[in-house]
Amino acid sequence: MNAVNVLSAAEADDLRQSVRAVCDRYASSDRVRAAAFSADGFDRELWEVLCTQVGVAGIGLEESAGGAGYGTAAVSVVGSELGRCLAPVPFYSSVVLAQSLLAESEDDELIGEVLPGLMAGERVAAAVISPDGGAWSPTRISVSVNDSTLGGRAVHVLGGPWVTDLVVVAEGDAGLEVHHVDVAAAVSAGTLDITPERVLDATRPMITVQLNRVRSRRVSVGSVGARLDAYADRALAVLTAEQVGANERVLEMAADYARVREQFGRPIGSFQAIKHKCADMLVDLERARSASAAAIEAADAEGPIAAELEWRAAMAKAVCSESLRSASQANIQIHGGIGYTWENDAQLYFKRACTDEVILGGTGHQWETLAAQAKIV
């Protein structure tokens, strides 16, 4: 991985404000619900604005690939803001997972054909990296290369029916390879089937991908097993930033409601039980924020800190998952009866917490990874 440009505190703040301004205008609760529960599950207008006016799809790409070269830190700032509002856009699936793999291609023609469209929001990619959307492992690959074509099946792939490109990790004769698939061409040829799935969190659409002798273009040169390990850990780091953003918003929702909801002639926030819940939520949030920051630091670092990326990412994913799940449950309880209704947004954040907890490996898997890295077991 090449050295990345350093994102200063002022630049990070400017980026955060820019993304938040767009989300304030285009990602209100009503718009999020309308897009998430539509046939697409995707707000195309919001995504176009984020890509063309803020440049979120190119900010983390190396300058040689046409991006801004700011690395994981900048990508995580964007992810945190999108996580706050549960923005129904393919930032994580297309930019973080698929595009970062594609950008490593040594096929300049492929890069020139696909990356500009992805960065402009005109194309949307999805990554097939595990058989079930769970933890990355080089021994858990469901797609294989046979006679220069791809075959296999993967479920719970982050993406929707609008995906234009697939980036697929496949098992080849010489080891793991990365391939690019033009979805329209493969579907037209009858070799690719993409089926939308019923999901718990409508803001995170998923698809089942069935490949049957799909013609593709090889992205990687030689086996990419070692690079994929670091790629998966960086993706985990960005996911924790999204979880922290959602966690921040959940705490705000709980505190705001506790200030205005009255019981026995007093705001419920004056009661000790509610105070303790909110205080616990804040403590958990700060713990999650610190763990996420440690993973993001390692993702962009070189030397000894970079070598700690695997355990830092695993720790952050476990801590942030537990914090968001606990906070979203407490938020529903603080809201009382209305918190259990469809009309209240508390349920949306709880569903996001449940979904994010299992993406790229559940909490138990992450703690086991951390323990193994620390040589505890």
In a domain, 111, yes or no: no
Domain-terminating residue out of 89, 112, 145: 89
Q: Say if residue 1's pLDDT is above 70.
A: no
Structure confidence at residue 377 (pLDDT): 43
With a CB cutoff of 8 Å and minimum separation 6, the contacts of 161 are 39, 40, 194, 196, 207
Do 329 and 194 lie in a common domain?
no
Domain CATH number, residue 157: 2.40.110.10
CA–CA separation, 188 and 313 (whole Å): 40
Domain-terminating residue out of 172, 193, 218: 218
Number of structural domains in the chain: 3
Do 229 and 369 lie in a common domain?
yes
CA–CA separation, 211 and 147 (whole Å): 14
pLDDT in tens, 360-372: 999 999 999 999 8
Query: Tokens 């129904």 correspond to what residue?
Result: 88
In a domain, 83, yes or no: yes
Local structure of 181: helix, strand or coil:
strand
In a domain, 175, yes or no: yes
Do 231 and 259 lie in a common domain?
yes
Do 254 and 367 lie in a common domain?
yes
pLDDT in tens, 51-96: 999 999 999 888 877 788 898 999 999 999 999 999 999 999 999 9
Domain extent for 311: 225-373
CA neighbor of 327 nearest in space, from 245, 270, 213, 236: 245
Average pLDDT for the chain: 93
Do 167 and 244 lie in a common domain?
no
